[in-house]
Amino acid sequence: MKRPFLSLLSCTLGFLATAPHSLAIDAKGLLRVNTTIQTYSISQPWELTPPKRRRGLGAVLESGKILTTAEMAANSTYIEFESADGTHTVPATVIAIDYETNLALLGPEEGANADWILKLGTLKTNGPVGIGDEVDIWQLEDNGDAVRTVGTVRSVDLLSTFASGHYFLSYEVKASMQSATSSYTLPITLNGNLLGILTSYNSKDQISDVVAPEIVKIFLDDVKDGNYEGFPSLGIATVLTEDSNFRKWLGLKDEQGGLYVSRVLPGSGADESGLKKGDVILTVDGHPIDRRGYYKDESYGRLFWSHLVRGSRKVGERLSLVILREGKEQTLKAVLRRPPPKLIPSHMYDKAPPFLIKGGLVFQELTRSYLEAFGKEWQSRAPLNLLDALNNPEDYEEGRDRLVFLSRVIRTPATIGYDRVANLIVTEANGQKVTDMNSLVTALKDPKDGLHSIRIDDIPYVLYLDPQLSDSVDKTLLERGLPSLQRLP
């Protein structure tokens, strides 16, 4: 895996003495972006974890807005812009953020004096470049001088650089960079125009990943009307058709490629178009797809097919698909949409996780991030029932909008004997089906026969709470320093 630029930051001090050798280069449109990031505790979702600071660079666009990565801005509690030499600072806000492509557009806080930003000069955006072209990577020294490193575009690929599972067009740029301050993210230019934003640098291979100009363009176009929609999706899962026996069974000819559709998300554009599990996609918008899922792109050569959907189109646009179904070719038209909401969201960036505490029982809505917090080996260490729900949401979707689970038990007089119960999926409370956190809160207002009952998916299957006791316990918990007993979505 490629590491974010953080490793360079940590050795900054060692380089300070030698840094000012380079001649100052006049760089326009560069400023420092300093952010403070805080996420919510996984085990105690009512509190924030200790703050982390990130320092990167932003590119000043013609609109006066600043482009940087989503990773810089996500979960930020404070953002500020700083001029290269440190003379000016101004608090900043997020105008639009896209976690999937790892892009964020920021602006100075309303009413703050930010005239100095436009005096830095602005950067026009640039069109795509070809493989082998040289580009400039910009860094700022501690003294405010700009450092330009020339790199070569080595290849183009679809990469997921922030929110997991979302792949977008990226340049891989080969360049040997030095350590410098504010290097968490960097702008890349060509002939003085902005090309893309660096998302990571691997010092061993000296390869940087850069969000491609096409993606930057779609992002900025989408922001213009003040209503950011995000990147589209078709809503399918596919399997490659390399296996010759599998191909014969599907009835694919040797000269055909093909992508086997293994899953169609309900409510997606693919679903509406009539695409079904078992279909084989032969072409997308006229581009034949090969057996490994690649098509021939006019500028970049072979690219994975998903770029035709996610990186080339906007929400609401149509896509035409030629498919093979039961040995016959058919053409389908799909309208691209944002992916339908998931039962178990992959992330909760910039959202405080909903929770509820009742008598010491702590309930949360399951997210992928919760499971990832079980460490590097989370796929084998996280609770099996919750992992199963993440991997097979279709088994849990019926009658649910979110998966509510009992994440832990705080030892209180109301939870005697429940000490070891943790990470169990909640199905019912007081006889009412639990479909999300709100429904649990509603159900727990109405105890039956003088008791709360909460049905869960494993031993002991039902937990009971005394309403008076749990209310008084909740009061004590507040006195003990809990800021609140619930946070609703």
Which residues contact another protein by CB under 8 A?
237, 239, 242-246, 248-249, 260, 262-263, 277, 379-380, 384-385, 387-388, 391-392, 414-418, 449-453, 459-466, 469
CB of 323 to another protein, least distance (A): 16
Q: Taking Cα atoms as reference points, which of 312, 181, 295 lies closest to residue 234? A: 312
Both structure tokens of 211: 């969000």
CB of 333 to another protein, least distance (A): 24
Greatest CA span in the chain, whole angstroms? 80
What would the DSSP string read from start to end of 112-135?
S--HHHHHT--B-B-----TT-EE
CB-nearer residue toward another protein: 388 or 446: 388
Q: Is the peptide bond before 460 cis (omega within 30 degrees of 0)?
A: yes
Quote the strand ranges of 212-309, DSSP E: 236-240, 259-264, 280-284, 287-288, 294-297, 301-304
Cα–Cα distance measured from residue 35 to residue 455, given in angstroms and rounded to the nearest whole number: 43
CB of 359 to another protein, least distance (A): 9
Cα–Cα distance measured from residue 282 to residue 274, given in angstroms and rounded to the nearest whole number: 15
CB-nearer residue toward another protein: 194 or 386: 386
CB-nearer residue toward another protein: 175 or 264: 264
CB-nearer residue toward another protein: 217 or 342: 342
CB-nearer residue toward another protein: 42 or 421: 421
CB of 364 to another protein, least distance (A): 20
φ, ψ for residue 272 (rounded to 5)? -65, -30
Quote the strand ranges of 99-233, DSSP E: 103-108, 134-140, 146-159, 168-174, 186-190, 193-202, 207-211
Contact 389, 425 (CB under 8 A): yes
CB of 232 to another protein, least distance (A): 23
Q: Taking Cα atoms as reference points, which of 259, 341, 263 lies closest to residue 308? A: 259
User: What does each C-alpha distance from 75 to 121, 347, 423 come to in angstroms?
Assistant: 29, 11, 25
Q: Taking Cα atoms as reference points, which of 69, 39, 25 lies closest to residue 163? A: 69
CB of 15 to another protein, least distance (A): 43
CB-nearer residue toward another protein: 146 or 465: 465
CB-nearer residue toward another protein: 46 or 260: 260
Burial zone of 454 (CB within 10 Å; 0-12 exposed, 13-18 middle, 19+ buried): buried
CB of 247 to another protein, least distance (A): 9
CB-nearer residue toward another protein: 26 or 449: 449
Cα 322 off chain centre by: 31
Q: What element of type H or E holds 95?
A: strand 89-98
CB-nearer residue toward another protein: 277 or 314: 277
CB-nearer residue toward another protein: 47 or 388: 388
CB-nearer residue toward another protein: 113 or 391: 391
CB-nearer residue toward another protein: 175 or 414: 414
CB of 409 to another protein, least distance (A): 11
CB of 159 to another protein, least distance (A): 21
Contact 195, 135 (CB under 8 A): yes
Cα–Cα distance measured from residue 172 to residue 203, given in angstroms and rounded to the nearest whole number: 13
Strand 424-429 to 280-284 pairing: unpaired
Both structure tokens of 374: 């079980």
CB of 321 to another protein, least distance (A): 18
Both structure tokens of 348: 């909760």
CB of 241 to another protein, least distance (A): 9
CB of 264 to another protein, least distance (A): 11
CB of 414 to another protein, least distance (A): 7
Contact 275, 261 (CB under 8 A): yes
Cα–Cα distance measured from residue 294 to residue 309, given in angstroms and rounded to the nearest whole number: 13
CB-nearer residue toward another protein: 191 or 391: 391
